[in-house]
Structure 1
Amino acid sequence: MMSKEDKIYLELEDREFPFSYTDHDRKIVRAIVFDEEKKFYFVRIHRDDSFGKATLIETSGGGVEKGEDLETAIQRELKEELGAEVEILQEIGIVSDYYNHVHRHNINHYFLCKVRSFGEKNLMPYEIRDFHMESLKLSYEEAIREYEKCSNTKLGRLIAQREVPVLEEVKKMLLIN
């Protein structure tokens, strides 16, 4: 992990799927979301697709739409996936990773966000149909155990490789024992 202006910057390789070529970049926003009790909010995804059958834990987030700034995108994604209104505290940094299976380079912009309130989720039809997304509220230790448990698949290992270092950095930032 390297530091760029006190933000983390991590470049990762996909060692799970063979590389043939990369044909597109995807600009993504992701958030480590926490509440007053320092509990964290994630999404649980159940999928059975070309990546394989898997149950996963992941931070909320998604693609930045054309013409959308990062802060607007993360607010939108958190409202859609968690039903959360949040205060963006700071940008944590960037994790650059690859999904060789779909020939994609991901540029993940991570933010630290504190929950203000919860309301209705606004999941996309494919998120309901294909991913069966649900919310998780976990302590730091529970989240780490979930990432370990979900690392029994190739995609689970790729996600954990990307997210656990960010979560570890947030643990230090929030002074969690």
Structure 2
Amino acid sequence: MNKQELKLHLQDTQWPLTYIDHDRNIVRAIVIDEKQNFYFVRAKRNDDFGEATLIETSGGGVEARENLETALKRELKEELGAEVEIITKIGVVSDYYNLIHRHNINNYYLCKVTSFGEKHLTKDEIEDFHLSTLRLSYRDAEEEYKKCAETKIGKLIAARELPVLKYVKKLIDEDLKPNRRSKEI
């Protein structure tokens, strides 16, 4: 899978910028299975960002002294109950949540599920975000992001994640194309 890493720099278009006082290093994954189903988390929230039902890639914050790939595998196990093979790093999307004065450094990976087991959600993920797992086709995932973009926080998440999803779809499609040279004699 030859590719150039994706690099996006996005601004918060939904809330005014007053100041940014911290960076958060985050790992996220586009998770697929052998049938090209995509796995996401659904969050139902009502907090400072407002009431919203969202689709989002699985992932979260990198803990102190934790490398990106270890953090990614931990987050996918916690949120999806998934053991994965990391296929490749997709790239980095830098975005902002002005409302909470945060700059997000999202490190995206493409992963393939090897097995599913028990999730290990935090109390907040269960009680405040009501996290659940979604298995969707590429088209259904696109539609979910567009539908969720009707809220302010949904617009920010869709702006960050739809370009990554499209980039991965293009990688997958290119990887599945027959090799023309092998057909030439």
Instruction: Name the TM tier (shorter chain).
Output: over 0.9
Residues 91-130 of structure 1: matches in 2 within 5 Å? 91-130=89-128
Alpha-carbon separation, structure 2, partners of 1:115 and 1:102: 33
Alpha-carbon separation, structure 2, partners of 1:6 and 1:89: 14
Q: Which amino acid aligns with 1:161?
A: A
Deviation at 1:6, TM superposition (A): 1.1
Deviation at 1:28, TM superposition (A): 0.1
Q: Which residue of 1 aligns with 2:154?
A: 156
Question: Is residue 2:172 matched to residue 1:174?
Answer: yes
> How much identity, in percent, do the aligned residues show?
63
Residues 44-55 of structure 1: matches in 2 within 5 Å? 44-55=42-53
Q: Which residue of 1 aligns with 2:10?
A: 12
Q: Which residue of 2 aligns with 1:82?
A: 80
Alpha-carbon separation, structure 1, partners of 2:169 and 2:157: 18
Q: Which residue of 2 aligns with 1:41?
A: 39
Q: Which amino acid aligns with 2:53?
A: T
SS of equivalent to 2:54 = strand
> Which string of whole-angstrom CA distances, capped at 9 and with x for unpartnered residues, describes residues 5-53 of structure 1?
8100000000101110000000000000000100000000000011000
Identify, as 1 or 2, the structure richer in strand.
1
Q: Which amino acid aligns with 2:159?
A: Q
Q: Which amino acid aligns with 1:66?
A: A
Deviation at 1:96, TM superposition (A): 0.1
Q: Which residue of 2 aligns with 1:27?
A: 25
TM-score, normalised relative to structure 1: 0.96
> Which string of whole-angstrom CA distances, capped at 9 and with x for unpartnered residues, describes residues 59-103 of structure 1?
000000000000000000000000000000010000000000000
SS of equivalent to 1:122 = coil
> Which string of whole-angstrom CA distances, capped at 9 and with x for unpartnered residues, describes residues 140-173 of structure 1?
0000000000001000000000000000000011
Alpha-carbon separation, structure 2, partners of 1:16 and 1:33: 28
Alpha-carbon separation, structure 1, partners of 2:170 and 2:53: 28
| Structure 1 gap ranges (5+) | none
Alpha-carbon separation, structure 2, partners of 1:124 and 1:67: 20
Question: Is residue 2:148 matched to residue 1:140?
Answer: no
Q: Which amino acid aligns with 1:19?
A: L
Q: Which amino acid aligns with 1:140?
A: Y
Aligned residues: 173
